[in-house]
Structure 1
Amino acid sequence: MTDDHALVFSDDEDDSDNGYNHPEMQGVLSKWTNYIHGWQSRFIVLKDGTLSYYKSEQDTGFGCRGAISIYKATVKPHEFDECRFDVSVNDCVWYLRADNPEEKQQWVEVLEAHKAESGYGSENNLKRHGSAVSLTSNTLSTASTSSFKKGRGLKEKVAEIETFRDILCQQIDTLQQYFDACAETTPSLRGASGELQVADFKGEALTFKATAAGVIATLQHCVELVGQREEVWRRRMEREVEKRRKAEEQARTAASRRLIIHSSPDYEEGPHSALNDEEFYDAVETGLDRLEEEDEFRERLKNKSSMKPLLSKVSQHPLWPEIDRITVEQLHYARLGVGEGGWQLFAEDGEMKMYKREEEVDGLVVDPLKACHVVKGVTGHEMCHYFFSPDYRMDWESTIEQMTVLEKVSEDTLIFLQVHKRIWPASQRDSLFWSHIRKVPDDKDRDSQDIWIVCNHSTDSSEFPANTSKCVRIYLTVCLVCQTLVDPPKDDAKITRDNITCKVTYCSVVNPGGWAPASVLRAVYKREYPKFLKRFTSYVADQCKDKPIMF
């Protein structure tokens, strides 16, 4: 937000003589654009009774992007947001937001002052000109232009024209009296026969009055025709609205989920959101469908570099104690069964089973999730490699808008900052976490000798603090534990991918970081987690099918 906007009052002599000035103001405010782009910075200008906006101050020479007259506008500060105010004229509403309450109050006061001081309609403008004062073409044009900006209907326009006609008629009468007086007192204006040698101003005045009356009568007739046409269209619209209402009722019966789009920021995520849980879920579900469609047409990145085993070199890093402790905890957590602890099976598809527990922290849903799956043709090392490596993440993770590796701690430990795609009406999210991959040491008490784990856990960064930008920070703990099972081939044949199977255990605890209806989040989890796990495991199987086996 700039600090160079200023409150400027007009010093026009004609305006000051009649007791009112036009307050002017300009500056940068956040303007709600639409449900996709949300709040955007715009250069706002208040001048000559018009509130207009530009994309930036540098664009003011290329024409405004939109403008509304504030003479009949309603300026309303927001009930909960102390920095926001709405300016509305009929059905047109501008949602504006200042950087601080003081700046918001300054804008509101100037807008209200402009409405109070400027007056409305042609009556105030016309009172500035006496009936005996000539309206020059420039003044008349200015007054009529201003009047047409302020008026709202054809009837008001006809009334304004009648007022202007009355003024012109009075001026013509005055001029006629003046010329009659001049003719009586100036002998040179008479010819040899004693008749006046001047134009018949009186006849011209009568003709002008008749012409003006004819124009007004024609305009009144036009108003009547428009009114009749308006009535026909109104009845037709009522019929169309009724048809649409019935069609929507039938659609709701056939499809229980329907997207309801609201253009106002009042329908954004937050405790004061005007969306109910069902509408919130419909909006989120449709947004997720759109992401899937984009993902289907997105070209997959091809990385032909050979995969190499990753060995730990992170023990000297300040985060290492936390990384080691949480990774061991998550491995133990993943190995525990689901028979105890209140796990509920909520999704099942062949070998894949997903369990959850319903938990909330400070009113936010943080339901722990555990998924078990079996994938043929890949090893645990390959599965964890594709889950960990940033080279492939954009291929299988369709919700990411931007991914940055902030720090490469070692070959097996990275720190990621991810910005996730926004799904209206939820706010955009980001996540900052370390990711660590390792092979689990051999355990003589266990049959398997090949287990790999990837553990992701939220961390902090002074360079990228949480919730300081447009994004809400997600806090997460995720682990992927993969165990390779080998079915020995007969007759000492070479092991192929047909002989290997990967047992996958996926655990996650995600804090969304911001308010959203609990029922919506749980419905989204139930829908998206199974799709995510199937998408990821299918991606790995497809990538590995023609490559050498990596144990």
Structure 2
Amino acid sequence: MSEDNLTGSDNSDIEEGGNAELRGYLSKWTNYIHGWQDRFIVLKDSTLSYYKSELESNLGCRGALCLKKAKVKPHEFDDCRFDVSVSDCVWYLRASNPEEKQQWIDVLESFKVESGYGTSSDSSSNGGGLRRHGSVTSLQSTGSHGRTSRRLAEKIAELDTYGELLSKQSTQLQQYFDMCVAKLPEIGDDVTEAIDAVELADGNPLSLHAGEVRATSTSFKATVTATLSTLQHCAALMRRRERQARQAEELYMALKNQLTEARLASKPGPDHEEGPHSTLPDDEFYDAVETGFDKMEEERCARVVSPSVHTRDQVELPPPAIDNRLTVHPLWTEIDRISTEQIQAAFEDVGGGNGWQLFAEEGDMRMYRREVEVDGMVMDPLKAMHKVRGVSAREMCHYFFNPRYRYEWETTLENMNIVEEISSDAMVFHQTFKRIWPVSQRDALFWSHVRASDDDTYAVINHSTTNPDYPANASGCIRLFVTVCLACRSTCPAGERPSRDNITTSIAYCSTVNPGGWAPAGVLRAVYKREYPKFLKRFTGYVAQQCRGKPLAI
């Protein structure tokens, strides 16, 4: 999403104490069939709404979320993605760059703060969010269970306090009793006579109760000691019960969160994309990829290609000899070795015990493969044998090599850069391919060389290379590694001059691709079986159409 697609309201649209309106295009994940789709997102009055496009924004929204209770979570790995959720309803959103993503998050959080439902980073000092609580007990105090836990904790504290006071007071009383009894024999005769003269209510003198006071004092001390011991035991039991209750509540919350996550995980989402831990079943994975290719094919069929202002001439066609500029280039040794090997192997017999298996057949076209896996990744070498009438080998390789026409027949191509023009017959390309969910986006850096060989044979060889200006696995793309050879050989009836009516070109298309990342082996092989024949038919049909009515180039 560019800055032109992200707009906010001016000051006239901002009410006192309110927030500015924000609107623009974001990628929203729809479902496992259609993956990410561009949607027009509008943020207004604490409500997040989305529309299929800006033109449809006056026809009613397709969905809305109230931000007062929403959670906004940036993705852990994707710098452009963030998720907005209310309960188990989640919107997966992607901006075109991290700056725009952060702008959206900041505005969304500002609505939450103003509404008093701030996230964990909110406090009373940053916009009036919920006050931070000091402990688990205080957090629980908002419910009846919390109030019960708080009262229990208070009563335990009171018991501790009263127990300490009772212990101190009983000790003091015992000291007073002991002092009184100890001092009785030291009292003078006159005082003793006075004390003996005092009679209690039972008619007995006070001096006769000294032993009883001593016995009662000892009994009171024992009673207090037993009471304190019992209180301490009860307090310990209540503390243990409180810890158990707190642990039970924490376990309950943890299980509740796990259940919520499991419920969300059961719904196909963008995190189910390719990877060794993907939970998307193989059949659904293939359905999503197949839908993506179908969409590309529909777009290609609907695209109206304007007539080219350029006409093919002899200079653009592959040269009959190797350009001298290539032979002095640092890549020449590798280019010559791999090209020679690929051309020799292109027309080798696929029968016998060399492991080739026929997996598709249609008319003159035969598709073969050998099943090869390296570190769990499918790297099946593929070979296609085909025949095209009315087109020469030189013309076929011209359209395959020349970058001018590549966008017209390569439907999966998103972007192409010519990194280096080595010579008239060799270039270095960097290509980015369209992303099809749930497969990660790929790119490739390779040299491409076209050359003539014996027996009216021309070939184009593409092979991965390296360049410090185009590092692998950068910009969110996984680098794939390729070795591709399109070898074409033309024939015509003996004794006849080649023409559009009698020329036949045999094609051998060989491809070995390291996908650079994990994807289900069964899915990849199913895609190969479906897409490679379609690609070869599409390309050869395109060349035949381009050559119709033009002089034959041999």
Q: Which interval holds the TM-score relative to the shorter structure?
A: 0.5 to 0.7
* Corresponding residue of 1:421: 434
Are the equivalent residues in 1 in contact too, given 2:489–2:506 (CA < 8 A)? yes
Give, in whole Å, the separation in 2 of the partners of 1:305 and 1:75: 56
Give, in whole Å, the separation in 2 of the partners of 1:546 and 1:432: 35
Distance 1:331 1:87, change over 3 A: same
> Under a length normalisation based on structure 1, what TM-score does the superposition of the two structures give?
0.57
Give, in whole Å, the separation in 1 of the partners of 2:82 and 2:550: 60
Give, in whole Å, the separation in 2 of the partners of 1:71 and 1:430: 42
Distance 1:52 1:264, change over 3 A: same
Distance 1:474 1:376, change over 3 A: same
* Corresponding residue of 1:409: 422
* Corresponding residue of 2:401: 388
Aligned 1:206-355 pairs, distance under 5 A: 264-300=269-305, 302=308, 303-308=310-315, 309-310=318-319, 311-312=322-323, 313-338=325-350, 339-355=352-368
Distance 1:96 1:488, change over 3 A: closer
Q: Secondary structure at the match of 1:539?
A: helix
* Corresponding residue of 2:86: 89
* Corresponding residue of 2:383: 370
* Corresponding residue of 1:503: 506
Give, in whole Å, the separation in 2 of the partners of 1:424 and 1:262: 16
1:412 maps to a residue whose letter is: D
Find 2:487's aligned residue among 478, 481, 490.
481
Map Cα deviations across residues 220-275 of structure 1 (whole Å, 9 max, x no partner): xxxxxxxxxxxxxxxxxxxxxxxxxxxxxxxxxxxxxxxxx977322323233331
Distance 1:75 1:391, change over 3 A: closer
Distance 1:266 1:502, change over 3 A: same
Q: Secondary structure at the match of 1:394?
A: helix
2:468 maps to a residue whose letter is: S
Are the equivalent residues in 2 in contact too, given 1:404–1:417 (CA < 8 A)? yes
Give, in whole Å, the separation in 2 of the partners of 1:497 and 1:484: 11
Aligned 1:518-537 pairs, distance under 5 A: 518-537=521-540
Distance 1:38 1:462, change over 3 A: farther
Find 1:112's aligned residue among 93, 96, 120.
120
Q: Secondary structure at the match of 2:444?
A: strand
Find 1:361's aligned residue among 361, 371, 374.
374
Q: How much does 1:495 deviate? A: 3.4
Q: How much does 1:92 deviate? A: 3.8
* Corresponding residue of 1:543: 546
Distance 1:85 1:481, change over 3 A: closer
2:87 maps to a residue whose letter is: N
Q: Secondary structure at the match of 2:552?
A: coil
Are the equivalent residues in 1 in contact too, given 2:35–2:437 (CA < 8 A)? no
Larger Cα Rg: Structure 1 or Structure 2? 2
Map Cα deviations across residues 365-402 of structure 1 (whole Å, 9 max, x no partner): 11100111111112211111111111221221111122
Distance 1:316 1:39, change over 3 A: farther
Q: How much does 1:290 deviate? A: 1.1
Q: Percent identity?
A: 54
1:34 maps to a residue whose letter is: W
* Corresponding residue of 2:472: 466
Q: How much does 1:516 deviate? A: 1.4
Quick check: 1:379 aligned with 2:392? yes
1:532 maps to a residue whose letter is: F
1:394 maps to a residue whose letter is: Y
Distance 1:418 1:76, change over 3 A: closer
Give, in whole Å, the separation in 1 of the partners of 2:501 and 2:329: 41
Aligned 1:444-455 pairs, distance under 5 A: 449-455=455-461
Higher alpha-carbon deviation: 367-376 or 416-425: 416-425
Q: How much does 1:354 deviate? A: 0.7
Distance 1:82 1:474, change over 3 A: closer
Give, in whole Å, the separation in 2 of the partners of 1:83 and 1:377: 50
Are the equivalent residues in 2 in contact too, given 1:34–1:263 (CA < 8 A)? no
Distance 1:394 1:72, change over 3 A: closer
Q: Secondary structure at the match of 1:480?
A: strand
Are the equivalent residues in 2 in contact too, given 1:357–1:368 (CA < 8 A)? yes
Give, in whole Å, the separation in 1 of the partners of 2:507 and 2:437: 32
Q: Structure 1: any 5+ residue segments left out of the alignment?
A: 1-23, 25-29, 55-65, 121-260, 443-448
Map Cα deviations across residues 19-38 of structure 1 (whole Å, 9 max, x no partner): xxxxx9xxxxx986325785
Give, in whole Å, the separation in 2 of the partners of 1:439 and 1:547: 21
Q: Secondary structure at the match of 2:421?
A: strand
Aligned 1:34-73 pairs, distance under 5 A: 34=29, 38=36, 72-73=69-70
Are the equivalent residues in 1 in contact too, given 2:270–2:438 (CA < 8 A)? no
Map Cα deviations across residues 181-229 of structure 1 (whole Å, 9 max, x no partner): xxxxxxxxxxxxxxxxxxxxxxxxxxxxxxxxxxxxxxxxxxxxxxxxx
Are the equivalent residues in 2 in contact too, given 1:32–1:94 (CA < 8 A)? no
Distance 1:407 1:83, change over 3 A: closer
* Corresponding residue of 2:155: none
Give, in whole Å, the separation in 2 of the partners of 1:34 and 1:307: 49
Quick check: 1:33 aligned with 2:28? yes
Give, in whole Å, the separation in 1 of the partners of 2:342 and 2:537: 22
1:486 maps to a residue whose letter is: C
Give, in whole Å, the separation in 2 of the partners of 1:292 and 1:545: 23
Q: Secondary structure at the match of 2:482?
A: strand
Distance 1:456 1:93, change over 3 A: same
1:294 maps to a residue whose letter is: E
1:431 maps to a residue whose letter is: A
Give, in whole Å, the separation in 1 of the partners of 2:76 and 2:476: 22
2:437 maps to a residue whose letter is: W
Give, in whole Å, the separation in 1 of the partners of 2:379 and 2:304: 33
Are the equivalent residues in 1 in contact too, given 2:28–2:93 (CA < 8 A)? no
* Corresponding residue of 1:21: none
> Under a length normalisation based on structure 2, what TM-score does the superposition of the two structures give?
0.57
Give, in whole Å, the separation in 2 of the partners of 1:86 and 1:381: 53
Q: Secondary structure at the match of 1:111?
A: coil
Give, in whole Å, the separation in 2 of the partners of 1:345 and 1:394: 30
Distance 1:509 1:494, change over 3 A: closer
